[in-house]
């Protein structure tokens, strides 16, 4: 059988992907928006939907960032509610491993898995900044270098908790009065630098056994972490060459962890713009990018990279001719893109200037070019063909689609592109399995070996 494509849908969060000013844009907090989004995605037979997580409102220059969508639901709670209005689609949420404890997160995912009939998935991320920590009891923060160790150990602990119930503990024998087969269900003990916990996990083994594990790692350490422990990677490489390189690299790391190629799916995030023709789509895409990067937004991005306020700066003129302010103290707080900018801002600024020169671009136009380009632009036939070619060429195992209008922006993809993929026999015509593991083609987990008594 031809390699099958996996598709998922991300309800974008609090960044400039969403064009909230479009009359068709819906609410980012009312349940109806999320319900509609989930039901469109399920109609499209998508493997899963994905929601990120909010821990602190973003700020820039000491003020709450107000140009993008602000405000979102709690991830666990909204996913549980979406389980009520869907039947098949997987429910993936980002939950951080810094401002949480493994016992609580493990029971929340186990509960979500029970309540959804085995559809839960966890995108494991690690925050480490003091800014975010100001909302939490453990207000301290991790050293950046510790973040993968923290994520690794948190995930390992959660897996131990999930595996502490083997699946045969509940007899519920009314006749004999034995509810449990053992007096010590869920017994566990875990001790390392980060966690020293012991006792009994209180959620019986769920339908999938564990949440499906997602990870979004790009660095060398991140790729190893994913190759060792994840079931799927959210990646950023949605083009052919970059995608193939990433795919080959990460899948190539699996054998050293004793895993096979089909045990880890590579799923880049991808935006899209559809049109009746490729030309029409290109025009719409250009307008969408201009809407996503307004003059005010462009200024914010430039200030972020240059790490300084730029009073009176004209975004229709050239980029600043001085270098960014390199400092530990970043004016932008609470957003992921900042970390990219802060890696080597001087080099990145030089890259931006080179683009401006090459394309005779204004500052705003450079920002549009570097931040906004959509992954798939074209007619439904073009987009379907492109996606299929990329997957068949092992640039990805599928894509996580991110519409710029929510919730309805997913519908044209579901209505026009999905049928073409189904016709070609590369995407499911209907769900055949029950759990998210089934949809992703992952084998069911073996029940942990039943421990010897005592």
Partner 1 sequence: MPTPAPLHLAVALDGAGWHPAAWREPDAQPRRLFTAGYWTELAQQAERGLLDFLTLEDGLGLQSDDHFQADARTDRVRGRLDAVLIAARVAPTTRHIGFVPTAITTHTEPFHLSKAIATLDYVSTGRAGIRVQIGARADTAAHFGRREIPPIAADRRDDPDVRQLIADHFDEAADYVEVLRRLWDSWEDDAEIRDVATGRFVDRDKLHYIDFEGRWFAVKGPSITPRPPQGQPVVAALGHAQVPYRLIARSADVGFVTPRDAAHAAELVGRIRAEQASAGRGDETVHVFGDLVVFLDESKAAAEARRQRLDELAGTEYRSDARIFAGTAVGLADLLQEWQEAGLSGFRLRPAALPHDLTQITERLVPELRRRCLFRARYEAGTLRERLGLGRPANRYATA
Near partner 1 in 107-136, by CB under 8 A? 107-108, 110-112, 114-117, 134-136
**Token pair belonging to 105:** 């997160």
Residue 174 contacts partner 1 per CB under 8 A: yes
**CA dist., res. 261 & res. 248, Å (int):** 10
Please report where in the chains the tokens 């500052």 appear, as a residue. Answer: 363
Residue 296 contacts partner 1 per CB under 8 A: yes
SS3 28: coil
Q: Minimum distance from CB of 13 to partner 1 (Å)?
A: 10
Site for partner 1 in 195-224 (CB under 8 A): 195-200, 202-204, 206
> Which of 29, 326, 336, 447 lies at the binding interface for partner 1 (CB under 8 A)?
29
**CA dist., res. 16 & res. 370, Å (int):** 13
Q: Minimum distance from CB of 232 to partner 1 (Å)?
A: 23
Please report where in the chains the tokens 């380009």 appear, as a residue. Answer: 373
Size of the site for partner 1 (CB under 8 A): 77
Site for partner 1 in 139-158 (CB under 8 A): 139
Residue 178 contacts partner 1 per CB under 8 A: yes
Residue 84 contacts partner 1 per CB under 8 A: yes
Q: Minimum distance from CB of 179 to partner 1 (Å)?
A: 6
241 or 453, CB closer to partner 1? 453
CA 281 to chain centre: 26
> Which of 2, 87, 140, 179 lies at the binding interface for partner 1 (CB under 8 A)?
179
Contacting residues for 113 by C-beta, under 8 A, at least 6 apart: 119, 120, 206, 207, 208, 210, 211
**Mask 40-69, x = binds partner 1 (CB under 8 A)?**
--------------xxxx-----xx-xxxx
Is residue 421 within 8 A of residue 387, CB to CB? The reply is yes
Candidates 150, 96, 135, 87; CA nearest to 115 is 87
Q: What angle do CA 445, 449, 454 make, to 5 degrees?
A: 145
- Binding segment for partner 1 (CB under 8 A), chosen from 171-179, 305-313, 317-325, 385-393, is 171-179
**CA dist., res. 217 & res. 197, Å (int):** 28
76 or 272, CB closer to partner 1? 76
> Which of 15, 43, 85, 313 lies at the binding interface for partner 1 (CB under 8 A)?
85
Candidates 266, 252, 283; CA nearest to 215 is 266
Q: Minimum distance from CB of 178 to partner 1 (Å)?
A: 6
> Which of 12, 26, 118, 185 lies at the binding interface for partner 1 (CB under 8 A)?
185
Is residue 402 within 8 A of residue 69, CB to CB? The reply is no
Residue 19 contacts partner 1 per CB under 8 A: no
Contacting residues for 15 by C-beta, under 8 A, at least 6 apart: 68, 69, 335, 337
Based on the number of CB atoms within 10 Å of its own CB, is 32 exposed (0-12), middle (13-18) or buried (19 or more)? exposed
> Which of 39, 70, 259, 370 lies at the binding interface for partner 1 (CB under 8 A)?
70
Q: Minimum distance from CB of 88 to partner 1 (Å)?
A: 14
């Amino acid at each position: 059988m031809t390699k099958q494509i996996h598709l998922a849908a991300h309800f974008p969060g609090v960044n400039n992907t969403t064009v909230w000013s479009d009359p068709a844009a819906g609410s980012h907090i009312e349940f109806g928006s999320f319900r509609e989004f989930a039901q469109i995605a399920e109609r499209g037979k998508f493997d899963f939907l994905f929601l990120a997580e909010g821990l602190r409102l973003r700020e820039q220059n000491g003020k709450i960032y107000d140009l993008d969508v602000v405000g979102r639901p709690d991830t666990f709670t909204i996913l549980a509610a979406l389980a009520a209005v869907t039947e098949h689609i997987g429910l993936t949420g980002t939950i951080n491993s810094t401002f949480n404890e493994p016992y609580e997160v493990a029971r929340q995912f186990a509960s979500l898995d029970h309540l959804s009939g085995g559809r839960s998935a966890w995108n494991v991320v690690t925050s480490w900044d003091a800014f975010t920590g100001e909302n939490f009891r453990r207000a301290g923060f991790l050293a950046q270098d510790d973040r993968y160790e923290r994520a690794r150990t948190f995930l390992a602990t959660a897996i131990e908790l999930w595996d502490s119930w083997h699946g045969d503990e509940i007899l519920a024998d009314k006749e004999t009065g034995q509810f449990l087969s053992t007096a010590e269900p869920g017994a566990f003990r875990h001790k390392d630098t980060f966690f020293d916990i012991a006792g009994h996990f209180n959620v019986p083994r769920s339908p999938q056994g564990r949440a499906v594990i997602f990870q979004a790692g790009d660095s060398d350490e991140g790729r190893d972490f994913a190759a060792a422990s994840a079931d799927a990677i959210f990646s950023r490489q949605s083009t052919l060459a970059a995608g193939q390189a990433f795919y080959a690299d990460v899948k190539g790391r699996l054998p050293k962890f004793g895993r096979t190629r089909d045990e880890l799916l590579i799923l880049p995030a991808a935006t899209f713009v559809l049109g009746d023709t490729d030309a029409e789509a290109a025009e719409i895409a250009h307008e969408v990018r201009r809407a996503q990067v307004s003059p005010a937004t462009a200024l914010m991005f430039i200030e972020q990279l240059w790490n300084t306020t730029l009073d009176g700066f004209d975004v229709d003129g050239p980029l600043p001719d001085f270098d960014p302010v390199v400092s530990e103290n970043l004016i932008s707080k609470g957003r992921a893109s900042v970390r990219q900018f802060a890696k080597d801002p001087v080099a990145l600024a030089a890259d931006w200037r080179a683009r401006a020169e090459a394309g005779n671009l204004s500052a705003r136009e450079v920002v549009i070019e570097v931040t906004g380009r959509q992954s798939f632009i074209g007619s439904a036939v073009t987009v379907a063909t492109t996606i299929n070619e990329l997957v068949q060429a092992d640039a990805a195992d599928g894509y996580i689609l991110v519409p710029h209008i929510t919730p309805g922006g997913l519908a044209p993809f579901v209505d026009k592109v999905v049928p073409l993929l189904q016709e070609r026999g590369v995407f499911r015509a209907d769900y055949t399995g029950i759990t998210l593991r089934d949809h992703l083609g992952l084998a069911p987990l073996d029940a942990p070996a039943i421990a010897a008594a005592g």
